[in-house]
Amino acid sequence: MSSFLVALAPLLVVGLGGLLLMLGEAFAHRERGGSGPSADLAIGSFVTLAAGAVVAFSLWLVGPENLGGAAGVAPFLIIDRFTLFFDIVLCVGGALAALLAGGYLPEHKLDRGEFYPLLIFSTLGAMVLASAGDLLSLFIGLETMSLGVYALVGFRRGSARSAEGAVKYFLLGSFAAALLLYGGAMLYGATGHTDLAGIGAALRGGTLTGADYGLAIVAMVLVLAGLAFKVSAVPFHMWTPDAYEGAPTPATSFMAVAVKSAAFATLLRVLVSAFGDPASMSWGTGWPPVVALLAVMTMTVANLVAGRQESVKRMLAYSSIAHAGYLLVAVVALMTQPGIAQGSILFYLLAYTVSTAGAFGALILCGSRGKEAVSYEDLAGIGHRHPVAAAAFALFLLSLTGVPPTAGFFAKLYVVRAAIGGGFLPLAILLLLNSVVAAYYYLRVLVYMYMREPAPGAPVAAPMRSGYVTAALLICAAGVMLLGLWPTRSLELAIDAALAAR
């Protein structure tokens, strides 16, 4: 029994922490005019989520294979290195979002306590999703995560844009969830299993009848579509810019980082465990050509459209879609190089988490209430008005561009290496060409920050100052540089975490 609890410790720590914070907030007596709930809750949430990451890391050190209780929760929750790696990534993403919120919410008069429990329980859902080895727990995790995020997107109640983004996200998210659920039902119908491993074994076994195979193929279509929505692959991406732009920036950061990572985690698990048989993984008729096409469309469309954006936040939204496209390239490489491809995806997500959270954090720091940094023009000359925010922004954008020696460079390098090693040279070349296009709009921010002065009379963004946000930026910057200067070790960890192919 106790070992059971140990195996689930990261989930329990985060869940209990969230409950305690919610209780504490409910009974807190605040003086009028005193500091808002963010002052306590941001730190509390950060500590809770960081504790989740630390616990997950200690389980990693112990080794999940040594945890007796891990088998007890299988196949609903699978506690392996893959799960623990994602627990860490998700907790870090959530913790960074909590810190960003600690600065952002009071500044923008959004200081309401419910933000933090929503954030924590979403993270919990994401962690469940990443460890789910069964379609049922997968769906529960997905919905736990999504419901919280829908609310977070609509958190700026006064803003029409926020409400619009939330409703769009919710409607389309339900649609995608329905597709996924329907696909799951069909899989059960075809194979008689809801656990991913069982589905995989049934498909591999070759004992199904022709009609069952037909059902399984349709199910694969629906499941792929549902997951493609969550990773926001083109053409399932349309909700992303609106939701990202409408959401308060810390929530945007959370979505770009944690939600996307969890979606990739479950995509990997489904593709490797359930659809890992030769027929599903066939280059002729399986998911790899579909994913390859999605990857190409996602990269290309997102980058082209991102280049035309005038809003920096929207640009970052499209850029996050583009990064999903790069990751999908590595997903295709799963077909021939499962270990290296997964390692590269995990490393990429880690690097992407710190870079993107940092970029959104720097964007928060560049603007204050009523004087937000929205467009490129707003950022003009910020390099002189707020050198720290500008330098941090520059660092994270360079990492997203993939300039050495930042984390982003090695992330791209490893993905490209996996793609080339797996024999997908055209995809690798397209990825590189796309990064060149991406460099254009990332560096455009730098040009505005350092080489332009605001037009006279134009409203300028007034930088804000916040210890929380600065702390988050420091963590991100340290991550970006550490992964950039010592990438080898982190990659080894990521490869250790890869799911066994079969």
Partner 1 sequence: MLSTIKQQFPATNFALLALILLMPALGALINGLFGKRMGKDAVRLTALASIGGSFLASLVTFIVVASEPGSRVTWTAWRWFSVTGRMRQDVGIDLAFSADGLSATMLLIVTGVGFLIHLYSTGYMAKDKGFHRFFAYLNLFIFAMLTLVLGDNMAVMFIGWEGVGLASYLLIGFWYEDEKKAAAGKKAFIVNRIGDFGLIMAMVLLVWYSGSLRFEDMQQRSSGLLTQVTLWPVTDLHQTIMPHWLASALTPASPWRVSAATLIGIFLFLGCAGKSAQIPLYVWLPDAMAGPTPVSALIHAATMVTAGVYLVARTSFVFVLSPAALTIVQTTGALTALFAASIAFAQTDLKKVLAYSTVSQLGFMFIGVGSGAFGAGMFHVITHAFFKGCLFLCAGSVIHAMHHRIHDDVASQDMRNMGGLRRYLPLTHATFLLSCIAIAGIPPLAGFWSKDEILFRAFASHIAPATAAVWVPPVWWGKMIFFVGLTAAVCTAFYMFRAYFLTFWGEFRGWRVVANFRPKKHGGHGHGAGALAGPPPHESPGVMTVPLVILAALAVVGGFLYAEPIHVAPLAHVLEPVFQKASQSVIVPEAAHGLVWPLMGAGVLAGVVGVAAAYYVYQVRGGAPARAFATSTGWFYRLVRDKWRIDELYQHTIVAATNAVAETAAAFDRWVIDGIIARLTAGTVALGGALLRAAHTGRVQVYAASMVAGVVGVGWFLVRPHADALVDTSGLRASGRVSLTAASGHGYSYRWRTADDDESVAYGHDKSYAVDLELCEKRTVYLGVKNAFNQAAERKYDLCRDANVPRAPGSQEAAACCSLDDAGRETAREWVRSKLKELDETQKRLEETKRAPEGLLKSLEQRGIKVEQLPGAPPAPQPPSQGPGGRP
* Contacting residues toward partner 1, per CB under 8 A: 164, 167-168, 171-172, 175-176, 179, 203, 208, 210-214, 216-218, 220-222, 224-225, 228-229, 235-236, 238-239, 242, 278-280, 282-287, 289-290, 293, 304-305, 307-308, 387, 403-405, 410, 413, 417, 421, 436, 439, 443, 447, 450-453, 485-488, 491
Nearer to partner 1, 82 or 229 (CB): 229
| Nearer Cβ to partner 1 (71/211) | 211
State how far the alpha carbon of 94 is from the alpha carbons of 29, 46, 60, 88, 207, in Å.
26, 8, 19, 10, 44
CB contact set of 431 (below 8 Å; sequence gap of 6+): 299, 326, 329, 412, 415, 416, 419
Query: Measured between alpha carbons, how far is 66 from 59 in angstroms, rounded to an integer?
Result: 9
Nearer to partner 1, 269 or 417 (CB): 417
Residue whose CB is less far from partner 1, 371 or 452:
452
CB of 238 to partner 1, least distance (A): 4
- Closer to partner 1 by Cβ: residue 281 or 471: 281
Q: How far apart are CA 341 and CA 349, in angstroms?
A: 12
Whole-number Å distance between alpha carbons of 394 and 446: 6
393 and 445 in contact (C-beta within 8 Å)?
yes
Show the beta-strand stretches assigned E in 79-220.
Answer: none
The distance of closest approach from Cβ of residue 284 to partner 1 in the complex, given in angstroms and rounded to an integer, is 3
State in angstroms the smallest separation of the CB of 127 from partner 1.
Answer: 27
Alpha-carbon gap, residue 170 to 149, rounded angstroms: 9
CB closer to partner 1, 71 vs 436: 436
Minimum Å gap between C-beta 414 and partner 1 is 9
CB of 287 to partner 1, least distance (A): 8
DSSP output for 303-365: HHHHHT-SBHHHHHHHHHHHHHHHHHHHHHHTTT-HHHHHHHHHHHHHHHHHHHHHHHHHHHH
| Least separation in angstroms between CB 194 and partner 1 | 19
CB of 295 to partner 1, least distance (A): 13
Nearer to partner 1, 135 or 180 (CB): 180
Q: Which two tokens stand for residue 396?
A: 């994270």
Smallest separation (angstroms) from partner 1 to the CB of 239:
6
Residue by residue, DSSP assigns 417-440 as HHHHHTT-HHHHHHHHHHHHHHHH
Judged by beta carbon, residue 76 or residue 410, the one nearer partner 1 is 410
Peptide bond into 235 cis (omega under 30): yes
Q: State the residue for tokens 């409607």.
A: 171
Using the structure block, give the residue that is written with the tokens 């009609």. 211
